[in-house]
Chain A
Amino acid sequence: MTARSVCALAGALKLVFSNRLTRVYGAVTCNQRHNSTYTTIPPPARYGGRHTVTLIPGDGIGPELAKHVWELFRFCCVPVDFEVVNVDSSLASEDDIDDAIMAIRRNGVALKGNIETNHNLPPSYKSRNNLLRTTLDLYANVMHCQSLPGVRTRHRNIDIMIVRENTEGEYSSLEHENVPGVVECLKIITKTKSLRIADYAFKTARSNGRRLVTAVHKANIMKLGDGLFLDCCKEVASGYPEITFESMIVDNTTMQLVSRPQQFDVMVMPNLYGNVVSNVCAGLVGGPGLVPGANYGENYAVFETGTRNTGKSIANSNTANPTAMLLASCLLLDHLKLHDYASMIRRAVLSTLTETKLHTADLGGQGSTSEVLQHVMNAVQSTGPRTLSM
């Protein structure tokens, strides 16, 4: 109630003050109200009925794919404006990424390409993507891998949701060399975060009508660390009696994934195993060009391709597969509650996938990115409401 009145006040004030100030004020109040639960992520700032979304092009194929998304949104008259923030991965200073983080705090939602982590820079230079995820506390990485029609794969009928802890685990960036030649990397597992991610996984399973949640771990070796994670999952599982809970060791999991992936439903796991398992699943359903990923936090959401590839080798050659980024933008639209636009674009993308002659190089075809995009726009125009002229 209070927030709504503040937002109305903000609306009234917009004529008086600058846009940015009222939007920040309104957003801050909304966030404070919703700090108690995380399911009520407030709808991000809407000004004049149009949403503003931060866009971080990234490196490699990121910029061209982001441009395609922008073109498509413009064509479909989607009420989303993009605030583009460029992050230069070759600089050592963190100003760029701080600007991006501030923009995301302001807008609440972002669409990003992967920012390259240059190995040649000194180890004090942290991965920009990682910085973004930890600073914004985007604790859940959700990737939905399903066999798509029109894409031929060795396995069929795969439908796995992977919920991966996104902020701690092996990605803590805490390493030191006490003795020359001996490096210690710390893997951090905390009870609060494990409970939080397990809760998220079970809530997602329940809201999507899923029956089985599998925790992936290596608790026979890392007894305290993964043991804690497993215990937290078991605790949370007891609160969801309609959902079956199982656990599986990561090596067995990967082996089962390549022989019989249909047995998995929802999987929850710490950071590194999540990385490996999500890449295996992406490979099973057709490759990195097809699967979108979403990073959810309590207050923010960032959408990107599921496997976070920079694609440096295929940048600017018009051969990248835009499907993953387009489906990620559909996830974005769903998050903004623009469900009609989301389903429209998603339908168009999936119908384009069934055309084998349009398949890009990663699916074994010879189509180009722009051809795929044209076809998607055609599909939207033929089925949908008004669009801009092409």
Chain B
Amino acid sequence: MAAHTAAMSMSKILHPFLGGRLGNTAKVFGRTLSSQRNKTGNGRDNIPPPAKYGGRHTVTLIPGDGIGPELLNHVKEVFRFCCVPVDFEVVHVNSNVETEDDINNAITAIRRNRVALKGNIETKHTMAPSVKSRNNLLRTSLDLYANVMHCQSLPGVQTRHKNIDIMIIRENTEGEYSNLEHENVPGVVESLKIITRTNSLRIAEYAFQLAREKGRKRVTAVHKANIMKLGDGLFLQCCREVASDYPDLTFDSMIVDNTTMQLVSKPQQFDVMVMPNLYGNVVSNVCAGLVGGPGLVPGANYGRDYAVFETATRNTGKSIAGKNIANPTAMLLASCMMLDHLKLYDYATMIRNAILSTMNETRLHTADLGGQGTTSEVVQSIMRVIQSKGPLTSDL
């Protein structure tokens, strides 16, 4: 604590003399000290609040492809309108080129700022298999090991199932997404799915701590250990080990096929779910479909030092790009999660309430919810709600 404060005050003193460049150095220096200090603990509570310079946060913004750029523009509009003390550092990643410079720049920016908001970067199937998925590269390089998605039935959105409230914690860095494939014999491809004890323990620990924090009662591990005995067996064993440290929480396990079947018939039975990467992908998409579609659910990727926020189902939305019909709710709720992470709770609650009250207006529903509203109408309505309720805002 002392070293951190000393570094910060030193940077404040040095700034007028040495200009922005060294100010950045002091910021980096200060941050390195604080991150070294925090390296001992690995709980989520110790993620240090990202750099505040002059009281304003800097957040990396990666527009991505498809509907990403337009939605993030709307986020910027709303933030500017609400006078949220966040500045965005925009980093473009071109999905058409094969070099990894773009994504490396983005990763460096995130390392610098600690927090990012991103749209999905397209992975073109036509490129060579050596071109790795940019999103995947980002997640693994920054070790964003936990993907958290909170699916709840939103008022105002009509769905077939009601009263859903599921938190899905998905291992984000290993499993089937290891990008390790080879073709030893022509026509026979082997893909490796890696499960490690450390990562499984880590994600289980994260899940149980999150469940405890949010006052949840039950954690369900989703697996396929009857077929993949060693791999998912190891995952399950790690979950059981961690569960023994949390006697106040009930732990059970369910095979992934039964889980998906239960999800479509009785989703209210699930509370918190923890699972490896691929099952997490499928289950989170099923849950997103149950609560109303990909346009409604925000997702967060947490690592020990970094946090990246995006829409939960990571859609590029190429077919609806540029048409003003995309649903901005998911991205705006993701930005609220980001504000919560930056500890700007008032702004987060303000924007979130505005979004939820706009959701009640059926005439503003966008095409994915079965309505005919446009994105800009929705954003305008949100801004109007904020203005009517809230503190000072810019002029509309």
Contact = CB atoms under 8 A, between A and B. Distances in A.
Interface string B52-71: 00000000000000000000
Nearest to A173: B227
Given A117-B226, A191-B188, A283-B262, A250 B282 contact: yes
Contacts of A180: 197
B48 interface: no
Interface of B: 123, 125, 129, 133, 136, 160-161, 176-177, 179, 181-183, 186-198, 224-231, 233-234, 256-258, 260-265, 278, 281-282, 284-286, 288-290, 293-294, 313, 315
Given A154-B160, A173-B227, A255-B289, A218 B261 contact: no
A388 interface: no
B282 A183 contact: no
A190 B123 contact: no
Given A254-B282, A256-B289, A283-B261, A221 B189 contact: no
B146 to A, nearest CB: 18
A184 B193 CA distance: 6
Contacts of B224: 170, 272, 275
Name A's interface SS. mixed
Determine the interface band of chain A, counting residues with CB < 8 A from chain B. Answer: 35 or more
Interface string A279-305: 110111001100000000000000000
User: Which of A177, A254, A309 is most buried by chain B, counting CB atoms within 10 A of its CB?
Assistant: A254
Interface string A218-231: 11111111011010
A255 B188 contact: no
Contacts of A282: 261
A255 B230 contact: no
B288 A255 contact: yes
A175 B289 contact: no
B236 to A, nearest CB: 8
Most buried by A among B123, B129, B282, B290: B282
B195 A255 contact: no
16 contacts: A123-B229, A173-B227, A175-B231, A188-B189, A188-B190, A189-B188, A218-B278, A220-B123, A221-B123, A224-B181, A225-B189, A251-B282, A258-B264, A258-B289, A275-B256, A283-B260
A245 to B, nearest CB: 15
B193 A288 contact: no
A181 B187 contact: no
B192 A185 contact: yes
In the A-B complex, the 5 residue pairs with the closest CB atoms: A181-B197, A191-B187, A258-B289, A283-B264, A283-B261
Contact of B191 (A123, A130, A224, A230): A224
Interface of B is mostly: mixed
Interface of A: 117, 119, 123, 127, 130, 154-155, 170-171, 173, 175-177, 180-192, 218-225, 227-228, 230, 250-252, 254-259, 272, 275-276, 278-280, 282-284, 287-288, 307, 309
B160 A189 contact: no
A190 B257 contact: no
Nearest to A180: B197
Contacts of A288: 261
A189 B197 CA distance: 26
A113 to B, nearest CB: 16
A279 B286 contact: no
A46 B197 CA distance: 55
B125 A189 contact: no
A222 B196 CA distance: 19
Contacts of B192: 184-187
B281 A250 contact: yes
B229 A224 contact: no
Given A170-B227, A222-B191, A251-B281, A275 B257 contact: yes
A279 B125 contact: no
Contacts of B161: 154
B256 A183 contact: no
A191 to B, nearest CB: 4
Contacts of A177: 230
Contacts of A254: 260, 282, 285-286, 289
B229 A175 contact: yes
B122 to A, nearest CB: 9
Contact of A279 (B193, B231, B261, B313): B261
A185 B231 contact: yes
A185 B178 CA distance: 11
Contact of B313 (A130, A183, A255, A284): A255
Contacts of A275: 224, 256-257
A182 B197 contact: yes
Nearest to B368: A259
A187 B294 contact: no
A228 B189 CA distance: 8
